[in-house]
């Protein structure tokens, strides 16, 4: 089977993670669902566009601001272990969710930050509502930092400006596609996205994160085994 060109692989990787990691039910998806049910598809889609825009900004910060720092061998090793633990933590958290109103990855801290941003910025447009929802969740930035290390260290994203740009573009497409789907379903009837459906989406995202964490753990173990020999 021929290997994919590095730029295409980077773009597809970004698309996959942008789509799957937008699934967990939280303030953004719930805001889109409520907005679509009450004010229609366009309003919900603009909320999703704002959320995806901030998500891409955090992703860009992670790629441009931290990738060179992670080339230091000790830092890279420590962050690979952190990424393994963080993926498992979030995956188990999402998989074990019993209700769609689940706490955010950073708990009460993220909620307080988001509340303060809402009070100071007073987002009046649908776009800014989605933008501020993601801006207030610093767990998104922390996650992208860890994921950036994982993708670059395992050559899922080409460590060039073109490769990183392709991945970021893929993230933008994946996240926006997911939010458009949620916007369409919610605008056609709130009942289409009942609690059971939302929980299944969150559980699926959790399974993906756990699988990714386990793969990362196996790769770390193989690296340690090679160093011993």
- How buried is 214 (Cβ within 10 angstroms: 0-12 exposed, 13-18 middle, 19+ buried)? middle
Q: Is the pLDDT of residue 59 over 60?
A: yes
Residues 100-154 pLDDT 10s: 554 444 445 445 545 555 555 555 688 988 888 888 777 788 778 878 877 887 7
Both tokens assigned to 188:
């056609």
Domain extent, residue 136, equals 6-228
pTM above 0.85, yes or no: no
Contact 17, 174 (CB under 8 A): yes
Asked whether residue 210 is assigned to any structural domain, the reply reads yes
Looking at the structure of the chain, the number of domains it has is 1
- pLDDT at position 8: 93
Asked whether residue 1 is assigned to any structural domain, the reply reads no
Q: Which residues contact 54 (CB under 8 A, 6 or more apart)?
A: 130, 131, 132, 133, 134, 135, 140
Residues 167-226 pLDDT 10s: 999 999 999 999 999 998 888 765 556 667 777 777 887 888 788 778 777 877 777 777
């Amino acid at each position: 089977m021929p290997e994919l060109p590095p730029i295409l692989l980077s773009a597809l990787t970004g698309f996959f993670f942008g789509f799957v990691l937008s699934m967990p039910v939280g303030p953004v998806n719930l805001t889109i669902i409520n907005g679509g049910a009450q004010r229609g598809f366009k309003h919900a889609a603009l909320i999703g566009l704002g959320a995806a825009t901030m998500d891409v900004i955090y992703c860009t910060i992670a790629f441009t601001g931290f990738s060179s720092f992670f080339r230091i061998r000790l830092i890279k090793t420590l962050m690979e272990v952190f990424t393994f633990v963080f993926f498992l933590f979030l995956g188990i958290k999402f998989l074990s969710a019993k209700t769609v109103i689940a706490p955010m990855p950073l708990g009460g801290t993220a909620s307080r930050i988001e509340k303060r941003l809402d009070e100071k910025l007073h987002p009046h447009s649908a776009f800014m509502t989605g933008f501020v929802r993601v801006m207030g969740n610093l767990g998104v930035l922390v996650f992208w930092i860890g994921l950036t290390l994982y993708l670059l260290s395992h050559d899922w994203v080409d460590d060039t400006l073109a490769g990183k740009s392709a991945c970021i573009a893929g993230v933008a497409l994946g996240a926006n596609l997911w939010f458009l789907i949620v916007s369409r379903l919610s605008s056609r009837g709130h009942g289409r996205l009942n609690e059971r459906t939302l929980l299944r989406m969150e559980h699926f995202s959790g399974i993906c994160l756990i699988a990714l964490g386990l793969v990362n753990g196996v790769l770390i173990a193989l690296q340690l085994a090679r160093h011993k020999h």
